[in-house]
């Protein structure tokens, strides 16, 4: 119904020694400054963005803990049969969270753009790139094809699709939020890949 006010919900963002600054969230062309340590009422869409951010940060924290536990060991089985998401699963992931009218073929093309970037800017700049086969995805690609970014960073795929949907819907604040979340996972993936693979042409001096 036009003009209907959005439902308000109560939230409280903890204040810690490390985090005392206000939290800023942009939704639907409006920016909200939320104080830590006090209970406030915010639109439900703002609470949903904050919940999504918390889930993302929790996954990153769990990865960091695992990284510290197994420091010095090979942590992730990159492209060697490890847990990775398939095209179908990435599409189902975004469709379950975000109602949209974009078809499977369009989402496959968007995923192809992302994995082309992964192959060109991450994999091909390191030794062992020849062992990773990649052909651009289209409407003839098997939807059970395994994508290139493995766990625990594969949340990047639905976030990438979400960002694309918001962009083409003209919802630029939502696009910015989804892109920021995507960049967090993509940067963590690149850092871990760099840790496990020698960059091409890089030489080291040993003492």
- Looking at per-residue pLDDT, the higher value among 62 and 5 belongs to 5
CB count, 10 Å around CB of 137? Answer: 23
Q: Are 34 and 43 in contact (CB under 8 A)?
A: no
pTM over 0.75: no
CA gap 65, 205 in Å, rounded: 30
Q: How far apart are CA 29 and CA 6, in angstroms?
A: 15
pLDDT at residue 77 is higher than 60: no
In angstroms, the CA 136 to CA 79 distance is 17
Task: Establish how many alpha carbons lie within 13 A of residue 26's alpha carbon, considering only the half-sphere containing its beta carbon.
Answer: 11
Q: Which residues pair with 110 in a beta bridge?
A: none
Q: Are strands 8-12 and 23-27 parallel, antiparallel or unpaired?
A: unpaired
Per residue in 34-53, pLDDT tens? 888 889 988 888 888 777 77
């Amino acid at each position: 119904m036009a003009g209907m006010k959005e439902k308000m919900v109560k939230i409280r963002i903890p204040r810690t020694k490390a985090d005392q600054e206000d939290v800023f969230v942009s939704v639907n062309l409006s920016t909200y400054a939320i104080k830590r340590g006090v209970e406030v009422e915010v639109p439900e869409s703002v609470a949903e963005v904050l919940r999504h951010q918390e889930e993302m940060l929790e996954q990153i924290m769990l990865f960091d803990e695992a990284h510290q536990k197994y420091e010095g060991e090979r942590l992730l089985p990159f492209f060697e049969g490890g847990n990775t998401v398939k095209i179908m699963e990435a599409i189902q992931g975004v469709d379950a969270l975000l109602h949209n009218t974009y078809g499977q073929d369009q989402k496959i093309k968007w995923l192809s753009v992302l994995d082309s970037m992964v192959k060109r800017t991450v994999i091909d700049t390191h030794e062992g790139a020849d062992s990773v086969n990649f052909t651009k995805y289209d409407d003839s690609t098997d939807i059970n094809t395994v994508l290139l970014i493995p766990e625990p960073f594969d949340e990047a795929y639905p976030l990438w699709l979400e960002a694309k949907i918001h962009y083409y819907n003209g919802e630029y604040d939502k696009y910015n939020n989804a892109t920021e979340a995507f960049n967090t996972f993509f940067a963590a993936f690149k850092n871990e890949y760099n840790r496990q693979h020698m960059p091409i042409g890089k030489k080291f001096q040993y003492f």
